[in-house]
Each structure stands twice: as structure tokens, then as C-alpha cells.
Amino acid sequence: MVLKDKLVLAYSGGLDTSVMVKWLGEKYGYDVITLTLDLGQREDIKEIERRALSIGSIKHYSIDAKEEFVKEYIFKAIKANALYQNKYPLGTALARPLIASKLVEIANKEGAKAVAHGCTGKGNDQVRFEVTIRALNPNLKIIAPVREWNMSRDEEINYALEKGIDIKPSKSQYSVDQNLWGRSIEGGDLEDPSLEPKEDVFEWVILPERASDKAEYVKIGFEKGLPFKLNDEEKGGVELIEELNVIAGRNGVGIIDHVEDRLVGIKSREVYEYPAALCLIEAHKELEKLVLSRSELNFKGLVEREWAWLVYSGLWIEPLMKDLQAFIDSTQAKVEGYITLKLYKGSMRIVARESKNSLYNYSLATYKEGSSFDQRDAEGFIKLWGLSSTLAYNRGV
């Protein structure tokens, strides 16, 4: 008996990756091992495992990676105020290097010769997977079946029926990827950027006009730049994010409608649901404004933009990431305190902030009696501040 080479497939349980289990065996002759990570996507992981094995996977790995996802990826994104193009909180982009690292880990453990993923040739995820995989194990062959087979959805369904594959094709017109940090929706009517998203797009966030007529307040506590309290109760990272997703979502907060520049050079209309992420990033930014100096904030803004770009573009393993992260971590030592948000029908507003490390000085800022700010100093300051500009403006006059 000739032993077949093994391949590890990142398996979601959906139509594409279910068809791949059979196709990879037929096309390449691999014994396929499937891998599913629980990243808080709200799916039945045991049912996904059952489906993989019933289709023909010789072995299946289910890994609960929620804690690792939060501590090693999401928390770093919060400290970096990570928003690609000032809009997208990078949920899918952050998950891909984690999944890729687990693919390599299982491939090494099983002695597999190859790994496979379900990304298309038009998206960003193919880059995020493959750059990380090649960095961690350049000897692994990488197969991207969707790029190769060019099947339509109907052709995939027919193939699945012919092969007796247990699938339940989604009736939704949308393509959805979700994890603990957020939900990404594309395809269908959303491909026309002139159309407003229909209500059936959203699952985590209620439409603002349907939200409660009463505002809800949320108090978030931070320690060294990381959230650890929600409404004065200490929470683990996973629990805090899950609860805040519910709270913000029921108040209509977290919808993003965005025309995005993809890595491959095309513009794409993307709709996202990120209730907890938007609240946490906004609260963290506000706390930083209270405790960091103007120069720190200005320079950190440049670092944040580059950090978000590297994550979005699949360069999690780029050495510059470590350099940027070292600077970001250095700024977080004094980012401690509490931020209160007021959520109301889709709006999110900072209404209170406090920190023992605050640089806000009441006696200097107040216009009331007892101010320690000597206004007479302003005249000399203004003269010196504008001296160079004034001289240049009047040159030759």
C-alpha cells in the first residue's frame, strides 16, 4: 500500500472548503486533514468537525483560539487604534496570520507536505495566508483551489451533489466572514455602491431607527492600554468584547459602510458590523488624548497608520511590525483610567474621562477665579511663536 502525502486544509464548513476536501484528494491525491479555529464566529464547531469527517477528511482538528486571538492580535490592535483607511478595524485581517500559523503548526505535527485555503484570487486574504505560511515554513506547498478551479457557485453545488458531499448551501446572497472582533459582509446587492444595504445584511447591530429611545451609558476601564473593566466589573478579554458587542449592537452602534482599496488594486464596497471594536478603539483614543503629550500623539498617529497597513496587507511577519509594536507598547505604560460612552440610536459619544495619569490641569485650564495661568505671558509667546513666519511674510515688502 502506497502512503499518500498529507495536506492540511483551513476548513470553515462552508460550500467552498467542503468541496475542497474531495477535490484536493481527486486532483492531487492528498490525504486531507482539516483544521477549524474557533475565533468567536458563533458557529457549531462540533458540527463543522462532523461534516469534515463525513466528507472524507482523514483527521480533523478543532482549536479554541479565542483567548490567543484576543491577547496576541486584538489587544495589539486596540493599543494601535487600528483602523485601515480610518474605517475598518481589521477583524478578518487580524485573524488570517493566526489561522496560517496554526495551519503550519498542524502540518509540522502531521508531517504534511502541503496546506490549502479557500481564498479567491481577487481578495486580500490569499496574501495574508500565504506570506505568513511561507515565512513560517517555506518548504510547504500552498494550494488555493478557488484560484485554480474557477467554478461558479452552481458548479460547486453540482459537484457536491455528484460526490455526495453533505452541504447546506446558504440562501443568502452575501459572503460573510465573522469572528469575535467583527463581521464582514460583501457581495450581492452590496456590489452596487449606490444602493443602501438592506436590513437583512445586519445580524449584530440593530438599525439605529429601531434602537431604544433611551440612551445607554457604558464605562470602560483600561490598564496599560488594555480594557479590563466594563461598567466597573472586571472582565476577561473575550467576555468583555462579547458583552460590549451586544450592548453597542442593541443601540445601533457599529455599522460601517466603506469603499475600500484592496491590496490587489481594486476598490471594493464593504459593509461591516464592529460594535465592540468601534467603542473600544474610540474610548482608547480618548484616554490617550488625556495622558499622552501632543508630540507622542502626533507621532503615534503616523505609527498607527503604518501598523494598520501592514496588518491589512498581510505583512504580520514583517520586522517593521515588531519595531512599531515596541514603540506602541512604550506609549501604553500610562494609559490607565476610565472612559464613559453614551450610546444612542447609532451614535457613540465620549461623555466622561478620568485617569490618575491625566495631563489635564484644572487650575491651568479653568477660566474661573483662581486660575494659575498667567495670561500676561501670552504676549511674548505670540511674538516669538510667529517671528519666523512674520519675517518671511514681510520679506522684500
CATH number at residue 134: 3.40.50.620
Residue 388 lies in a domain: no
What CATH number should be reported for the domain holding residue 219? 3.90.1260.10
**pLDDT for 162:** 83
Inside any domain, residue 385: no
Catalytic annotation present for 125: yes
pLDDT at residue 1 in the model: 53
Tell me what pLDDT residue 2 has: 56
152 & 193 share domain? no
Distances (CA, A) of 162 to 108, 170, 190, 194: 33, 18, 32, 39
Q: Are strands 59-64 and 31-38 parallel, antiparallel or unpaired?
A: parallel
Q: Does some domain include residue 205? A: yes
Residues 101, 222: one domain? Answer: no
What angle do helix axes 45-55 and 15-28 make, rounded to 10 degrees? 30
Residues 140 and 186 in one domain: no
- The question of whether 16 is a catalytic residue gets the answer yes
* Catalytic one of 18, 51, 125, 269: 125
Q: Of these residues, 50, 62, 175, 262, which one is catalytic?
A: 175
Q: Look at residue 317 and tell me if it is in a domain.
A: no
Please indicate whether residue 183 is annotated as part of the active site.
no
Residue 67 C-alpha from the chain's centroid: 15
Are 220 and 249 members of one domain?
Answer: yes
Domain holding 36, by residue range, is 6-171
Q: Is 208 found in the same domain as 346? A: yes
Shared domain for 243 and 340, answered yes or no, is yes
Catalytic residue among 51, 96, 128, 269: 96
Same domain, 342 and 240: yes
Report strand pairing: 233-234 vs 182-186: unpaired
In the chain, the number of structural domains is: 2
Are 198 and 264 contained in the same domain?
yes
Residue 331 is predicted with a pLDDT of: 98
Please check whether residue 345 lies inside any domain of the structure: yes
Distance CA 16, CA 378 (A): 67
Q: Is residue 304 part of a domain?
A: no
Residue 171: per-residue pLDDT: 63
Say whether both 74 and 161 belong to one domain.
yes
pLDDT digits (tens, 9 = 90+) for 103-115: 999 999 999 999 9
Do residues 168 and 47 make contact, with C-beta atoms less than 8 angstroms apart? no
| Edge-to-edge strand ranges of the sheet holding 6-10 | 59-64, 31-38, 6-10, 114-116, 141-143
Q: Are residues 180 and 131 in the same domain?
A: no
* Residues 113 and 236 both lie in one domain: no
Helices 125-136 and 91-110: crossing angle, nearest 10°? 40
Look up residue 104 and give its amino acid.
V
For the chain, strand residue ranges (E) read 6-10, 31-38, 59-64, 114-116, 141-143, 175-179, 182-186, 216-223, 226-230, 233-234, 255-261, 267-273, 337-344, 347-354
pLDDT of residue 160: 82
pLDDT for position 140: 98
Q: CB–CB of 181/66 below 8 Å?
A: no
Q: End of a domain among 151, 171, 191? A: 171
Q: Which residues contact 280 (CB under 8 A, 6 or more apart)?
A: 78, 220, 227, 241, 244
Instruction: For the sheet with 255-261, list strands across it.
Output: 175-179, 182-186, 267-273, 255-261
> What pTM was estimated for this model as a whole?
0.94
What would you report as the CA-atom Rg of the chain, rounded to the nearest whole angstrom? 25
Same domain for 159 and 191, yes or no, is no
- Torsion sign across C-alpha atoms 72, 73, 74, 76: positive
Of 118, 147, 171, the last residue of a domain is 171
Among 171, 202, 227, residue at a domain's last position = 171
Q: Looking at the domain assignment, is residue 112 inside a domain?
A: yes
Q: Is 226 within the bounds of a domain?
A: yes
Q: Which residues contact 351 (CB under 8 A, 6 or more apart)?
A: 217, 340, 341, 342
Stretches where the chain sits below pLDDT 50 are none
Nearest by Cα to 82 from 298, 309, 323 = 309
